[in-house]
Amino acid sequence: MHISEGILSPPVLIAGAALAAGGVGIALRKLDDERIPRVAVLAAEFFVASFIHVPIGPTSAHLVLGGLAGVVLGWGAFPAILVALLLQALLFGFGGLTTLGVNLNVMAAPAVACHYLFIRGIRRGGPAAATACGFAAGALAILFSAGLVCVALLSTGQEFRHVAELVVLASAPVALVEGLVTGSIVAFLRKVKPELLGAEAPVAAAPQAAPATLDPAAIPPVHAAPARVRAPVPAAAAERTYA
């Protein structure tokens, strides 16, 4: 989804930069120290995943995994994708510095939208519902990004109409792959690390104690006390008693 430099008009670039700055500002205000390592991991994931890309005129189609960044980070997807896009522009010439704001909005805004759309189902639903929500987040994030690319291109000029159509067509198979990958990762995280998704870890049921069994050998023998035999009373003494 990288848009190259020299394509978009100045008003589109300025609007994109302003919106991107607002998104990053909101994200930094919400970001705490505990979530910074997650942002770094998702930035690295985006940096690596987008290396496999297919050029489509002035833009390209590639894996983004923005839906995964959205469900894990929320607004934190903005700084994560910003760092990755900046490094790609400086080191490899992907996108560009002037289009950095537009490219950031194209990929981070759908991630945040998918977070609010699907995070409740991922956190509170069962395993099947969480997987389905992860698939939908991954697929829709790509389709939303393709729509934003089309808006940016068509806002620059109608001569990019055919390029915009190619972007939408090329994004359909990528959306399917992203949905499958994101759904699988969400299902895995729900099982092994649910707190990364904001879900509560399942509480293991305490093992029930086995009913106590009485071992006959452990019972001490009970010895009956010998019966006391009363001595007979002599007849003479009995007569004196009742006399």
Tell me the C-alpha distance between 223 and 207, whole Å: 40
Which CATH number does the domain housing residue 48 bear? 1.10.1760.20
What's the confidence (pLDDT) of residue 242?
46
Is-contact 70 144, C-beta < 8 A?
A: no
CA atoms within 13 A on the CB side of 96: 11
- Domain membership of residue 228 (yes or no) is no
Global pTM value? 0.75
- The number of folded domains in the chain is 1
User: Is there a domain that residue 62 lies in?
Assistant: yes
Structure tokens at 73: 């980070």
pLDDT of residue 202: 53
Determine the Cα–Cα distance for residues 196 and 119; give it in Å rounded to an integer. Answer: 12
For 67, the domain range is: 10-197
What string of pLDDT tens digits covers the 243 residues of the chain? 678 888 889 999 999 999 999 999 999 998 888 888 989 988 988 888 777 666 655 555 667 888 999 999 999 999 999 999 999 888 887 778 899 999 999 999 999 999 999 999 998 888 899 999 999 999 999 999 999 999 999 988 888 888 888 888 888 888 888 899 999 999 999 888 888 887 655 544 445 555 555 555 555 555 555 555 555 555 555 555 444
Question: What pLDDT is stored for residue 49 in this prediction?
Answer: 78
* Domain assignment present for 18: yes
> pLDDT value at position 108?
93
pLDDT value at residue 35: 87
Nearest residue to 71 via CA among 106, 116, 109? 116
Beta-bridge mates of residue 54: 61
Residue 28 lies in a domain: yes
Is residue 53 in a domain?
A: yes
Residue 144 lies in a domain: yes
Per-residue pLDDT at 11 = 93
Closest CA to 134 of 42, 56, 70: 70
In the chain, the largest separation of any two C-alpha atoms, in whole Å, equals 143
Residue 41 lies in a domain: yes
Establish if 209 belongs to a structural domain.
no
Identify how many contiguous H helices and E strands the chain contains and give both numbers: 8, 2
Strands (DSSP E) found in the chain: 53-56, 59-62
Determine contact, residues 79/40, Cβ cutoff 8 Å.
no
Q: Residues 185, 112, 184, CA angle at the centre, nearest 5°? A: 10
